[in-house]
Structure 1
Amino acid sequence: MRMLPFAVAATLAGLLAAVPPAARAAERCSLPDGWTDVVRRDPRYVVFGEIHGTRQSPAFIGNLACALAARGERVLVAVELGSPYDAAFQAAWRLPPTRFPAALLKEGWAGRNDGVGSVAMRDMLVRLHALKSAGRPIALVAFNGARDAAQQAKFADQPGQGPHEAAQAENIRNAAVAGRYDRVLVLVGNLHARKQPIERGAVIFRPMAMQLAPASEVVSLNMASAGGSTWTCELRAGVKFEPGKPIAKDAIECAGHPVRSDAAIERTPFVTLQLLPGTQRDPAYDGSFWLGAVSASSPALPER
């Protein structure tokens, strides 16, 4: 084992001592198994299609971003929070760690009872901010929905949910070209992560992942788990959806709900571009990210 020169070792020790304890704890991370297969494809964007509201999915993305940044890669983390609030998030991102958590929750979190604005999402962003404050090259963008009326009008000619998907894609793309990033990690609901059109009745629209960039520049991974629970908003038991009629607010229950197992695997979290054992390939995705057993993460700002 080569020994570092005394002066270099002393400098490194001094730098480590200067890193806040919270940031040092946040740096306990490693690349997941299978990541090298994703890198071989050299995608501009890696899209992680989740079921919202688990503790494990944001933690997985946070760990990956941490590990990439620790290797010196410049990382943009795109999250499915409202794009009109992105300016507020960027202002919060520039604050010191002691002020960031409170500033983060001031905009775009209230009323998010569907698992997107979860405690796990908040914790991931607080962790990444601590790493950024310690000098790691990590940036953030909130991309969900049209940022203003002009963007909404720009894509109004697309059918169905297409305008929403197109705005998501453009917001991510604009943030990506604004910085010199080595990797863009997108955490989004798995419907938006699909690389094939979606048909709803007589309407067909293109999901965000199809509008983000050419297919060769996007690797889309669908969440897979050993089952457990997620925080989702679903119709209450016994309530039936009637097409064309509005759904009453009291007909929706936002809570921890069971989620089925996708495969019988006993492994720590990993990514794969291959089929999981006992599953069939879904051509809408390039592969999967495996989380093991999952547990529900409630909203960071619960409704009062």
Structure 2
Amino acid sequence: MISLLAAALLTAQPACAPVRGSEALWNEDLRFIAVGEMHGTAEAPAAFADLVCLALEKGPVTAVLEYPAPMQATFDAFMAEPDADAARVLLLAYPHGPFRYHDGRGSEAMLAMFQRFRALHQAGADLKLLASVPDSPRVEGFTQSHDELDRAQLWSAAARAAPERRMMIFVGSVHAGKARRVGSRIGLPAAAHFRPEEVLSLYVAADGGEAWNCRDECGPNPVTPLGLGDRRGVVIAPEADGTFDGYLAVGPATASPPVSRQD
């Protein structure tokens, strides 16, 4: 039986939206659940927030996010701030993060995801955020930076420091794969540095639509449909090359623009 306090906290937390197929994620042997997205859609951050909410029903969670590691103090202050407007100001005030220099990670949808995480934490959920993009400069004589290895080290250090916590990872798809793609210049993706049995990696699959990102120009750009139709939810279907274990299907994608700023 859960304690009266735990029952009260669960009652106080906002209700989780169901995600079809998500029961496949809660295997006790899975320490890392990695969701690889294309930045700049409204649907991907919302779907990831739904999964985090469901994971919190199973136990404590660390949400690993693709933001500069020096933002950690800002993350901590944001989560602790009881006022939503003040929390927003704290997050957007960080001078060098994606909310200043937009690549899709500074979108309205991402901000909404952060605010949802803060609300869950304020309601009593055992949720922490981890800023997980290290400073990995390229060293002369090396053909690549060791950014992926350094990312994996950050994830690993957090997991080892709190082994009771489920690690829910939300990053660009290139970092969430479990195998090196042919022709990739980054070496092994961050998620591939762990035993494959401990990681379940999902590719965010949209049924066409648009994402706000920077290609030839910054703005809404078309998203290639992957043939899953408008179904939504977790689909376990390993790719032939073993890069992902399945998909987080979100239906048609909607471009989410950068956060409007007053400064």
The answer, yes or no, to whether TM exceeds 0.5 is yes
Distance 1:198 1:265, change over 3 A: closer
Alpha-carbon offset, residue 63 of structure 1:
1.0
Alpha-carbon offset, residue 106 of structure 1:
1.4
Q: Which residue does the alignment assign to 1:35?
A: 22
Distance 2:262 2:48 in 1: 26
Q: Which residue does the alignment assign to 1:248?
A: none
Uncovered stretches (5+) of structure 1, i.e. residues with no partner: 1-7, 147-151, 236-252
Does the 8 A contact of 1:160 with 1:205 survive in 2?
no
Q: How many residues align?
A: 256
Does the 8 A contact of 1:162 with 1:207 survive in 2?
no
1:209 aligns with 2:209: no
Q: Which residue does the alignment assign to 1:254?
A: 218
SS at match of 1:73: coil
SS at match of 1:62: helix
Alpha-carbon offset, residue 15 of structure 1:
9.2
1:79 aligns with 2:58: no
Report the residue type matching 2:219 in the other structure.
Answer: A
Distance 1:158 1:68, change over 3 A: farther
Distance 1:56 1:15, change over 3 A: closer
Distance 1:72 1:196, change over 3 A: closer
SS at match of 1:76: strand
Report the residue type matching 2:208 in the other structure.
Answer: G
Distance 1:291 1:91, change over 3 A: same
CA RMSD of aligned residues (A): 2.9
Distance 1:303 1:101, change over 3 A: closer
Distance 2:130 2:179 in 1: 25
Select 2:247's aligned residue among 275, 288, 301.
288
Q: Which residue does the alignment assign to 1:55?
A: 42
The Cα offsets for residues 98-120 of structure 1, whole Å up to 9 and x where unpaired, read as 32111111112343311012111
Select 1:127's aligned residue among 106, 116, 131.
116
Question: Greater CA radius of gyration, 1 or 2?
Answer: 1
Distance 2:140 2:195 in 1: 21
With structure 1 as the length reference, what TM-score do the two structures score?
0.75
Distance 1:41 1:284 in 2: 22
Q: Which residue does the alignment assign to 1:165?
A: 148
Alpha-carbon offset, residue 273 of structure 1:
1.5
Distance 1:90 1:13 in 2: 24
Distance 1:303 1:168 in 2: 33
The Cα offsets for residues 3-43 of structure 1, whole Å up to 9 and x where unpaired, read as xxxxx8xxx78996xx5xxxx6xx23234222222334731
1:189 aligns with 2:194: no
Does the 8 A contact of 1:81 with 1:117 survive in 2?
no
With structure 2 as the length reference, what TM-score do the two structures score?
0.85
Q: Which residue does the alignment assign to 1:272?
A: 235
Runs of 4+ in 1 over 6 A off after TM superposition: 12-15
Distance 1:15 1:179 in 2: 22
Does the 8 A contact of 1:272 with 1:288 survive in 2?
yes
Distance 1:140 1:209, change over 3 A: same
Report the residue type matching 2:209 in the other structure.
Answer: G
Report the residue type matching 2:146 in the other structure.
Answer: P
Alpha-carbon offset, residue 58 of structure 1:
0.5
Report the residue type matching 1:215 in the other structure.
Answer: P
Alpha-carbon offset, residue 220 of structure 1:
0.9
Distance 1:113 1:177 in 2: 32
Does the 8 A contact of 1:49 with 1:191 survive in 2?
yes
SS at match of 2:221: strand
Does the 8 A contact of 1:199 with 1:205 survive in 2?
no
Does the 8 A contact of 1:77 with 1:140 survive in 2?
yes
Distance 1:220 1:13, change over 3 A: closer
SS at match of 2:207: coil
Uncovered stretches (5+) of structure 2, i.e. residues with no partner: none
Distance 2:48 2:10 in 1: 26
Alpha-carbon offset, residue 46 of structure 1:
0.6
SS at match of 1:289: strand
